[in-house]
Structure 1
Amino acid sequence: MAAEILYHGEPNGPSLSVLAALVESGLDIECRHIDFLRGERHRIEGAAQTLASDMAVEGEGPVLLKDGETMSEAVFLAQYFDDCAGGCGLQPSDAYAHWEMMMWCRQTTERLAPAVAYLGNMAYSQKVVTAMDEDSFSAIIDSIFSEDLRARWQDLRDDVVDAAKLEDSKAKVAQFVERVEDKLADGRDWLMGDFSIADLETYAWLRPMAELEASAFTGKTHCSAWMERLEARPSVQKALARATTDNPAHAFAPGPEINRWG
């Protein structure tokens, strides 16, 4: 068995950012595609220490298996790759710039990611989960440790749509696009000045919204140009090439819990 194996879904959201970060690092780590909507993330062979993946706030995101330990959360995994590579340019070396990047990533994880996941699951995943037979769905639910994550799966199964959460999610996507636009208004190419994890993480969550919430991007020329630069980046192209479906931007599974405090 390989010393490290990266289990990932379709290149969308956290799987896209982690796959691209791995390419940026140049590390030789085996990648294995799993189907999040079949609950395969919770049944990884050889996983003995699973707390990090069981309690991941990211929800159904990629998992790095190392010596029986499951490592999770896209931002942390990207940092791990950068550290293992001896610094491949994913993290600023300046202390303040590093803090700024981590604050941006935290806001992406806590505000943007839950909004995108909610909209994406409502648009694409709910009908898949609703159509599952009872035995298949029960097998998934029984394998999930986190009560919060089980509840989000059950909501999909029960065809629960919260109109307030839907509108709040749309607003948060629009707000984050505006935030990116403002950050790039000084002519910089990347969010932190130099390319970093913040670019990959933000882009990976915004990319599927270009279709679902197209109006949020109207007139946002800086943001649109930044997304085009990321789309053309070799690491992103290599990550997208791992897709097993025609449109990986439609691939969602229950994601981060929506922040109760807005």
Structure 2
Amino acid sequence: MTTLFLYHGEPTGPSLTVLAALFESGLAADLLHIDLAMAQRHAGEVPLGFEANYSVEGEGPVLVVDGEPTVDSVFIGCLLDDLAPQSGLRPTDPYLRWEMMAWCRWMIERLAPGAAALANIAWTTPRLAALDDAEFEGLVAPIEADDLRDRWRQTRAGLLSDDHRKASEARVHEATKKIDDRLADRDWIMGDFSLADLESYAWVAPMRDLIPAAFEGKPRLAAWLERVKTRPSVARALAQAQKPEPAHGFAPGPEINRWG
């Protein structure tokens, strides 16, 4: 029997995706909450292999499957769907499955870096800036990837250029329009509920607190946000929150796409 341990942060971004996907799957797992914004992913208690340290997603959850750490929310969702095919996290039709993965990639590579940049400056920078230098360096010293450690330092310093901010905000506007347009003839992004809805919601929903204008005049988007929020798996995921504002529980990453 497969043994699952999920190390997750507050139910927002990739942690929300994986928590809800796990609950959709019906698989049993031990849930272990960690404070991602305080670098607890690197504190020595979470199993991390090469893939986890160099995760494109940055500081997301880690699902340990029979002792092997796995990372990146969409790929974990696919793994859960393979372990529990009845969950329907991915379409069975080959074309629709490709379309869903293409949609998720857009969210990972276009929206997520912008959303993460805005969320971290707004909510994570103040927490890290409140630490003294020695305490902060102690948090990031165990991080093996130099570029990820540098992103933590940039986040603490509140470094976000005007161009980067404007580009990030533009991606949020682009994503909300993309979803609203997609829902013109359907309730769910792929027609049926899927991983595409989870990944999109996880990154888009927190942006309501930062860029409310991106959500104005989009009634289909508003109705979809409510449908996703009240889906039992998502409601159960949101109930795992340990902080008053779980949507603000981001940590540095993901980085801007550079892989192709």
Alignment TM-score, normalising by the size of structure 2: 0.95
Partner of 1:137: 136
- Structure 1 segment 1-262 matched on structure 2, within 5 A: 3-45=3-45, 47=47, 50-186=49-185, 188-259=186-257
Q: 1:43: Cα distance to partner?
A: 2.9
For structure 2, list consecutive stretches of 5 or more residues without a partner in the other structure: none
Question: Which piece of structure 1 moves more, 58-67 or 227-236?
Answer: 58-67
SS of 2:85's partner is: coil
2:200 corresponds to which letter in structure 1? Answer: T
Cα distance in 1 between the residues matched to 2:194 and 2:140? 36
Seq. identity, %? 49
Cα distance in 2 between the residues matched to 1:28 and 1:167? 42
Runs of 4+ residues deviating >6 angstroms: none
Which digits, 9 at most, give the CA deviation of each residue in 1:136-158, with x for residues without a partner? 21122211122221111011222
Say if 1:148 and 1:257, in contact at 8 Å, map to a contact too.
no
1:9 corresponds to which letter in structure 2? Answer: G
Cα distance 1:222–1:151, how it changes in 2: closer, same or farther (>3 A)? Answer: same
1:146 corresponds to which letter in structure 2? Answer: A
Cα distance in 1 between the residues matched to 2:66 and 2:144? 21
Aligned pair count?
Answer: 259
RMSD of aligned Cα (Å): 1.7
Which digits, 9 at most, give the CA deviation of each residue in 1:226-261, with x for residues without a partner? 111001101110000000011101111102112369
For structure 1, list consecutive stretches of 5 or more residues without a partner in the other structure: none
Which digits, 9 at most, give the CA deviation of each residue in 1:111-164, with x for residues without a partner? 111111001011111011111122221122211122221111011222323111
Cα distance 1:91–1:209, how it changes in 2: closer, same or farther (>3 A)? Answer: same
Cα distance in 2 between the residues matched to 1:158 and 1:72? 27
Say if 2:62 and 2:69, in contact at 8 Å, map to a contact too.
yes
Cα distance in 2 between the residues matched to 1:100 and 1:44? 38
Say if 2:43 and 2:139, in contact at 8 Å, map to a contact too.
no
Cα distance in 2 between the residues matched to 1:250 and 1:195? 25
2:29 corresponds to which letter in structure 1? Answer: I
SS of 2:144's partner is: coil
Say if 2:21 and 2:195, in contact at 8 Å, map to a contact too.
yes
Which digits, 9 at most, give the CA deviation of each residue in 1:63-113, with x for residues without a partner? 012344210000011111111113311000000000000000001000111
